Chain A
Amino acid sequence: MAEDQQETQDKTTPLHDEHVALGASLTGFGGWLMPLRYTSDLAEHRAVREAAGLFDLSHMGEIHLEGAGSGAALDQALVGNASAIGVGRARYSMICADDGSVLDDLIVYRLADEHFLVVANAGNAPRVAAELVARAAGFDTLVTDRSAETALVAVQGPEAEEIVASLTADDDVDTVRGMKYYASAPATVAGIGVLVARTGYTGEDGFELFVPADRAAELWRALLAAGEGRGLVPAGLSARDSLRLEAGMPLYGHELDQTTTPYEAGLGRVVKLDKADADGAPLPFVGRDALAARAQSAPARVLVGLRGEGRRPARAGYDVVQRGLDGAVGAVVGRVTSGAPSPTLGYPVAMAYVTPEVSAEGTELAVDVRGRAEPFVVVPLPFYKRS
């Protein structure tokens, strides 16, 4: 009964019928009913590392800013320097509150000189859109939330370029093949006009394709067919989560939330405190004062990677503890934000916030796994980097 309720409350993507036809297990995520897995989490994860996976990311929000003042509006609304992004390039950024806490992490694409696309997380998208509208007031820009009319499909993995290129119109093949990481360009793929971006959330090479919602199923099927001989499988949120965890990428609601500033998360580099306007004058942005103060002081907690020495994985919310005598659970020194058995590495991995004193690489800690101290060691992030 709970499931029925969830299905009526959660929105479905333009690819919902495709997921049902493929026999996916569905789950609620950020207000959306999404594929959790089609067959096996592990098989889908491995397919992305070794061949390719096809993801429906239509739950993500797409907010466009158009007009001469778009860059300036974003400079003032976000922590990064949007107006410095070259046309056709993209950057990872964040939108913060006045107190410096993270409202969402974002990718900002500059599609044209006066046209930016901001991609927000599913659950945060309505709020990000509303904030951008409010923060853009007074700037020469039009903010439009086009999430509903835009579907997003990702092809991720070492075979992604071959698969996408095989469907790309002749005139656009060189553009797609030559596209750099964190770049984008319009292209015709499977006969459909899409925006192709070389971005992703898996730690592999890959593409994200923004497509009109009413053409999404057509594109999805074409990609599945094109990838059939190359090991491509549809992949769900479960594999997406374990892939991004191995790649050390934060997930909003886990590593980032409104109790966190970018500095604790080790992402202080995305905050451009010294942004300047066209005349070189210091440029205020929302959260700047709080973030400037935070940048000066040592954070009370630090995001670290943990590698399990045993086989039992740590899960989000578990306490990180000191190792007590005889394997006992010692004093609490932090909390796990994400944890899973790493399919690629074969041991448990986790990200956790810990006190700075125990954050050094090699520090031997433990995680309280339901009353038992499972040994973990602090290791650098990411856990996995493609070779």
Chain B
Amino acid sequence: MADFPENLRYSAEHEWVDDASPATIGVTSVAADALGDVVYLELPEVGATIEAGAVVGEIESTKSVSELYSPVSGTVVEVNQSAVDDPAVVNSDPFGAGWLFKVDVTSRGALLTAEEYAAQAG
């Protein structure tokens, strides 16, 4: 079973979010492995207001494309431009350098602990 960082919360759609302010959001190793090599990222724009559970972007791999959901509501304050430039980092370090965007959070969706996520996704 994969190891999921304890300090993060997880969505059923395989996003993770930390509890910092602003909150950092990415996709889990489960998503990265299922996608295959990520080759293109479409992230929300800085300043955009987003809602938990809504589609905010796309992750495209060599084989497929999937939608990116936000696990939280709020305002996007930063996107990871180095991941946009070199999306392979989403595969190599999904919980670290492969983060996707940061949000000033107004509310969080229904999120899972690492243990709950592991039980569901592992």
Using a CB–CB cutoff of 8 Å, the interface residues on chain A facing chain B are 25, 36-37, 40-42, 45, 238, 241-242, 311-313, 315, 340-341, 343, 370
Contact = CB atoms under 8 A, between A and B. Distances in A.
Contact of B62 (A25, A312, A343): A343
Contacts of A36: 36, 63
Contacts of B91: 40
B39 interface: yes
Given A311-B40, A312-B42, A343-B62, 8 more contacts: A25-B33, A36-B63, A41-B36, A42-B37, A313-B40, A341-B39, A341-B40, A341-B60
30 contacts: A25-B33, A36-B36, A36-B63, A40-B36, A40-B37, A40-B91, A41-B36, A41-B37, A41-B61, A41-B62, A41-B63, A42-B37, A42-B62, A42-B88, A238-B36, A238-B62, A238-B63, A241-B63, A242-B62, A312-B40, A312-B42, A313-B39, A313-B40, A313-B60, A315-B65, A340-B62, A341-B39, A341-B40, A341-B60, A370-B65
Interface of B: 33, 36-37, 39-40, 42, 58, 60-63, 65, 88, 91
Nearest to A241: B63
A340 B65 CA distance: 11
Contacts of B62: 41-42, 45, 238, 242, 340-341, 343
Contacts of A313: 39-40, 60
3 closest A-B pairs by CB:
A41-B62, A42-B37, A341-B39
A341 B88 CA distance: 13
Contacts of A312: 40, 42, 60
B1 to A, nearest CB: 14
A37 B58 CA distance: 22
A37 B61 CA distance: 13
Contacts of A241: 63
Contacts of B40: 311-313, 341
Nearest to B61: A41
Contacts of B58: 370
A93 B53 CA distance: 51
Contacts of A45: 62
A221 to B, nearest CB: 26
Contacts of A25: 33
Contacts of B60: 312-313, 341
Contacts of A343: 62
A169 to B, nearest CB: 38
A221 B63 CA distance: 28
A198 B63 CA distance: 28
Contacts of B88: 42
Given A313-B60, A340-B63, A343-B62, A37 B36 contact: yes
A387 to B, nearest CB: 23
Nearest to B63: A238
Nearest to B64: A315
A40 B58 CA distance: 20
Contacts of B63: 36, 41, 238, 241, 340
Nearest to B36: A41
B81 to A, nearest CB: 14
Nearest to B41: A311
Contacts of B65: 315, 370
Contacts of A238: 36, 62-63
A37 B88 CA distance: 16
A343 B40 CA distance: 13
Contacts of A340: 62-63
A25 B35 CA distance: 11
A241 B88 CA distance: 20
A40 B87 CA distance: 14
A209 to B, nearest CB: 27
B12 to A, nearest CB: 16
Contacts of A40: 36-37, 91
B93 to A, nearest CB: 14
A242 B62 CA distance: 8
A62 B43 CA distance: 47
Contacts of A242: 62
Contacts of B61: 41
B41 to A, nearest CB: 10
B38 to A, nearest CB: 10
A341 B87 CA distance: 13
